[in-house]
């Protein structure tokens, strides 16, 4: 059978077992397109049915989350934790609170997390969780009530040696604080069971910055490897949350001009470029006042494009940092027409498969999130190490280690994805991420 036929057959079996899970199947397909041919060349993995085992979560927990809102009314949400693969370490991955959350989205995130965590070089398995709870428009008291109810159930399934959640969309320092407080109260244990904690109770310096900084460090490696540099480039960034803020910060520091940020209501185009002072405004707007990005356009006389994504703005480098499938085929064509050199995913799976194929076919440097956004979970791994040592490393120490992690992910991608003209980062990241997990699974037997 041809590789294409083998991939189709594998996807048919996977789809039959996971009906309607379109995001999960999308993530598996991206992986299978690279790994099915690789497994054909390495029959040891085929015989052990490694791929078939990898697409089956080790455990899925789904639970009811009842809580009382400020009016005294009962609200009911659904909670999830997907414990995908623990071959190389305890399950590790964020929690997402967003109304769109469902089993398919969390399974895609958990699946990608397994290979991302493997790439970090640290002993971290893969998981993901969350809820369809929407923190937007809720009071601090309501968010706390929800987090307490969520953790009252979740705490039975996690632990510092079992499963260590962190933040993701809708889960930042505030939510992690409430979740940690409840875990401690219910279990009567003070352990590093969550990462992304505040510095006051065991958090790590640089963890808030790590996903965005790491993404820019990775893109810096990729650009330099191909004879370019960040300084002087025009960058388009989507999102204005954690990842977008610190991607923007590092890009500015390295001499790029960042001209856009966005949220789910639209994007702002600031021709003059976002500087440190304007970025401080965004951080306050999004992290403290929890307002809409249009306020940036009003304050700094920038353009606001309602209900639009920023990919039509001419740029050299693009960083999708908001959410899955936010950059489609038409966007990729516009980016190429406008001369883009590189697209570096800060978010998880922000690029649709068609867009990804088009960009790669046109010779654009393209890094999948599992490689370029791995700095966040990598630094979570560093937070776990500090918690175990009962020590706090300096900012420079953590930043130095983050740079080493991103450099080594880049090298690993080059080793497994070197092409005649440019590095195929999708191939490189998937093979490198797969091998470590697959070999550990082989060594541990049929479990």
Ligand X SMILES: NC(=O)C1=CN([C@@H]2O[C@H](COP(=O)(O)OP(=O)(O)OC[C@H]3O[C@@H](n4cnc5c(N)ncnc54)[C@H](OP(=O)(O)O)[C@@H]3O)[C@@H](O)[C@H]2O)C=CC1
Ligand Y SMILES: O=C(O)CCC(=O)C(=O)O
Contact between 163 and 82 (Cβ < 8 Å) = no
Residue 56, both tokens? 């089956």
Q: How far, CA to CA in Å, does 83 sit from each of 42, 109, 349?
A: 27, 11, 19
State the DSSP string of 342-384: EEE--SSS-B-HHHHHHHHHTT-EEE-HHHHTTHHHHHHHHHH
Environment class of residue 250 by beta-carbon count within 10 Å: exposed (0-12), middle (13-18) or buried (19+)?
A: buried
Q: What is the nearest approach in angstroms of ligand Y to the Cβ of residue 195?
A: 5
The region of 47-55, 75-83, 238-246, 375-383 touching ligand Y under the rule CB under 6 A is 375-383
Instruction: Determine which helix (DSSP H) or strand (DSSP E) holds 104, and give its type and residue range.
Output: helix 103-119
Which x/- pattern over 60-99 shows residues binding ligand Y (rule: CB under 6 A)? --------------------------------xxx-----
Nearer Cβ to ligand Y (118/373):
373
Q: What is the nearest approach in angstroms of ligand Y to the Cβ of residue 236?
A: 21
The region of 151-159, 182-190, 242-250, 333-341 touching ligand X under the rule CB under 6 A is 242-250
Contact between 333 and 361 (Cβ < 8 Å) = no
Enumerate residues 357-396 that contact ligand X by CB under 6 A. Answer: 373, 376
Nearer Cβ to ligand Y (166/285):
166
Q: Which of 104, 195, 238, 247 binds ligand Y (CB under 6 A)?
A: 195
128: annotated active-site residue: yes
From the list ligand Y, ligand X, none, pick the one residue 169 interacts with, judged by a Cβ distance below 5 to 8 Å according to partner type: ligand X
Buried-exposed string 85-118: b where 16+ CB fall within 10 A, e elsewhere: bbbbbbbbbbbbbbeebbbbbbbbbbbbbbbbbb
Q: How far apart are CA 315 and CA 156, in angstroms?
A: 48
Q: Binding to ligand Y by residue 377, rule CB under 6 A?
A: yes
Which x/- pattern over 124-163 shows residues binding ligand Y (rule: CB under 6 A)? ----------------------------------------
Q: Which of 167, 192, 312, 368 binds ligand X (CB under 6 A)?
A: 167
Enumerate residues 222-241 that contact ligand X by CB under 6 A. Answer: 239-241
CA–chain centroid gap for 137, Å, is 24
User: Which residue stretches of 198-284 are H helix?
Assistant: 207-225, 242-253, 276-283
| Residue 181 backbone dihedrals phi, psi, to 5 degrees | -55, -45
Nearer Cβ to ligand Y (203/376):
376
Q: How far apart are CA 371 and CA 407, in angstroms?
A: 10
Q: Binding to ligand Y by residue 380, rule CB under 6 A?
A: yes
Q: CA 148, 154, 160, 165 torsion: positive or negative?
A: negative
From the list ligand Y, ligand X, none, pick the one residue 92 interacts with, judged by a Cβ distance below 5 to 8 Å according to partner type: ligand Y
Q: Binding to ligand X by residue 170, rule CB under 6 A?
A: yes
Which x/- pattern over 245-274 shows residues binding ligand X (rule: CB under 6 A)? ------------------xxx---------
Of 128, 257, 278, 294, which one is the catalytic site residue? Answer: 128
Q: Which of 152, 348, 352, 412 binds ligand X (CB under 6 A)?
A: 348
Q: Which of 36, 216, 274, 347 binds ligand X (CB under 6 A)?
A: 347
Q: Binding to ligand Y by residue 166, rule CB under 6 A?
A: yes
Environment class of residue 123 by beta-carbon count within 10 Å: exposed (0-12), middle (13-18) or buried (19+)?
A: middle
Give the SS3 label for residue 65.
Answer: strand
The region of 25-33, 269-277, 358-366, 373-381 touching ligand Y under the rule CB under 6 A is 373-381
Tell me which DSSP letter residue 168 carries: B
Residue length, the chain? Answer: 447
CA–chain centroid gap for 356, Å, is 17
Q: What is the nearest approach in angstroms of ligand Y to the Cβ of residue 336?
A: 27
From the list ligand X, ligand Y, none, pick the one residue 241 interacts with, judged by a Cβ distance below 5 to 8 Å according to partner type: ligand X
Nearer Cβ to ligand X (328/439):
328
Environment class of residue 416 by beta-carbon count within 10 Å: exposed (0-12), middle (13-18) or buried (19+)?
A: buried
List of residues contacting ligand Y (CB under 6 A): 92-94, 113, 116, 166, 168, 195, 348, 373, 376-377, 380
List of residues contacting ligand X (CB under 6 A): 167-170, 211, 239-244, 263-265, 321-323, 326, 346-348, 373, 376
Please identify every residue annotated as catalytic: 128
């Amino acid at each position: 059978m041809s590789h294409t036929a083998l991939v189709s057959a594998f996807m048919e079996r996977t789809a039959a077992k996971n009906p309607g899970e379109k995001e999960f199947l999308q993530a598996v397909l991206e992986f299978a397109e690279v790994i099915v041919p690789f497994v054909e060349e390495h029959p040891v993995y085929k015989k052990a049915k490694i791929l078939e085992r990898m697409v089956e979560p080790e455990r899925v927990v789904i639970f009811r989350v009842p809580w009382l809102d400020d009016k005294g009314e009962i609200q009911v949400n659904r909670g999830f934790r997907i414990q995908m693969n623990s071959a190389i370490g305890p399950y590790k991955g964020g929690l997402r609170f967003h109304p769109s959350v469902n089993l398919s989205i969390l399974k895609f995130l958990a699946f990608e997390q397994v290979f991302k965590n493997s790439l970090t070089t640290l002993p971290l398995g893969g998981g993901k969780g969350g809820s369809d709870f929407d923190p937007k428009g809720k009071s601090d008291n309501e968010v706390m009530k929800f987090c307490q109810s969520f953790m009252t159930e979740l705490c039975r399934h996690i632990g510092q040696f079992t499963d260590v959640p962190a933040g993701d969309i809708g889960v930042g320092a505030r939510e992690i604080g409430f979740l940690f407080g409840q875990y401690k109260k219910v279990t009567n244990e003070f352990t590093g069971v969550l990462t992304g904690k505040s510095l006051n109770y065991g958090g790590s310096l640089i963890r808030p910055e790590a996903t965005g900084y790491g993404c820019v460090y990775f893109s810096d490696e990729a650009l330099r490897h191909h004879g370019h540099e960040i300084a002087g480039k025009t960058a388009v960034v989507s999102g204005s949350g954690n990842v977008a803020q610190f991607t923007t910060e590092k890009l500015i520091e390295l001499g790029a001009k960042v001209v856009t940020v966005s949220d789910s209501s639209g994007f702002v185009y600031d021709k003059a470029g976002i500087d440190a002072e304007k970025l401080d405004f965004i951080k306050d707007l999004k992290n403290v006042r929890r307002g809409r990005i249009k306020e940036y356009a009003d304050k700094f006389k920038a353009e606001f494009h309602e209900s639009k994504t920023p990919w039509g703005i001419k740029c050299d480098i693009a960083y999708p940092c908001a959410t899955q499938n936010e950059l489609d085929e038409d966007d990729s064509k516009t980016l190429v027409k406008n001369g883009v050199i590189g697209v570096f995913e800060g978010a998880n799976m922000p690029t649709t498969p068609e867009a990804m194929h088009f960009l790669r076919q046109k010779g654009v440097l393209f890094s999948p999130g599992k490689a370029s956004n791995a700095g966040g979970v990598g630094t979570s791994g560093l937070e776990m190490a500090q918690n175990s040592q009962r020590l706090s490393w300096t900012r420079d120490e953590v930043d130095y280690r983050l740079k080493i992690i991103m450099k080594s992910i880049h090298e690993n991608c080059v080793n497994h994805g070197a092409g005649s003209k440019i590095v195929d980062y999708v191939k490189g990241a998937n093979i490198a991420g797969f091998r470590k997990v697959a070999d550990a699974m082989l060594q541990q037997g049929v479990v």
